[in-house]
Structures are given as C-alpha cells and as structure tokens.
Amino acid sequence: MVGFIIFLLVLWAVLSILGFVVKGLLWLAWVGIILFVVTVIFGFIRSKLSKQ
C-alpha cells in the first residue's frame, strides 16, 4: 500500500510540474496539487489507523 501511495504522489507531482510548464495546462497543475495533498492526507490517516 505504501508503494502505491508513493507512486500516486510522484504521479501528481509530475502532473503539477507539467501543468506549470505548459501554460495552457495550468488547470492540470492545480488538479495535481489538490490530488497530491489529498493523497498525503489519505496516506497519513491510513498509517495512523494501521498502527493502532
């Protein structure tokens, strides 16, 4: 599960960078940032619940 979350974080980071590089895809940067934050929160919550 940790590997999958890391894969998603890398994917969202790449999409964000691509969105900022290509000016017409600025919306993609914002979607990538939002998904990156959601994935970090999801991973944090899953790790806290699995340690209990």
Q: What is the pLDDT of residue 47?
A: 85
pLDDT, position 48 = 85
Per-residue pLDDT reduced to its tens digit, 1-36? 778 888 989 998 998 888 888 877 888 888 889 999
CA–CA distances in Å: residue 43 to residues 26, 32, 34, 40, 51: 26, 16, 14, 5, 12
Q: Yes or no: say if 43 and 12 are a contact pair by the CB < 8 Å rule.
A: no
- pTM for the whole structure: 0.73
Q: In the numeric block, which tokens belong to residue 51?
A: 């340690």
21, two tokens: 């590089």
